[in-house]
Amino acid sequence: MKPLAVVATALAVFSTAGAQTTQVGCRAPDTKNDGLLTELLHNPSARGAADPDLRYGFWDAKWQKCCNEHSICDRYYTFSYNHPYPCAYRQRRGTIRGQEFDFACVNWHTGACK
């Protein structure tokens, strides 16, 4: 491997290691829109249009039960997000395949979802 390639690889690894990861959970108040929500979240253009703070990539997405500090729990589509999510709770309206629906996202402390 050329020295320049080694330096570039090392910089990529160290910059990724310093990136902030947040656990975000989203849910549609009307559960009949759960399929639309997951489709919207997996579509980068639709996700960014619905909530510009969700325009970055995510991984490890799955439906989970999440509870707040008052032990109030609900089902959320959670994912690890490689950027800070500035809102404790935010409601939005999304559009996918011409269908509009409401959804809300929260950032969770690690361990709040199981």
Query: Average per-residue pLDDT in the chain?
Result: 82
Q: How far apart are CA 108 and CA 35, in angstroms?
A: 22
**What is the residue range of 67's domain?**
21-108
Residue 11 maps to a domain = no
pLDDT band at 92 (very low <50, low <70, confident <90, very high): very high
Residue 102 predicted with pLDDT over 70: yes
Residue 4 maps to a domain = no
Most distant pair of Cα atoms in the chain: their distance: 55
Structurally, how many domains does the chain consist of?
A: 1
Edge to edge, the sheet with strand 73-81 lists 58-67, 73-81, 22-27, 99-108, 90-96
Residues 6+ apart with CB under 8 A from 70: none
Residue 62 maps to a domain = yes
Residue 40 maps to a domain = yes
Per residue in 30-81, pLDDT (tens digit) is: 999 999 999 999 999 999 999 999 988 888 899 999 888 888 899 999 998 8
Residue 90 predicted with pLDDT over 50: yes
Residue 5 maps to a domain = no
Q: What pTM value is reported for the model?
A: 0.77
Residue 16 maps to a domain = no
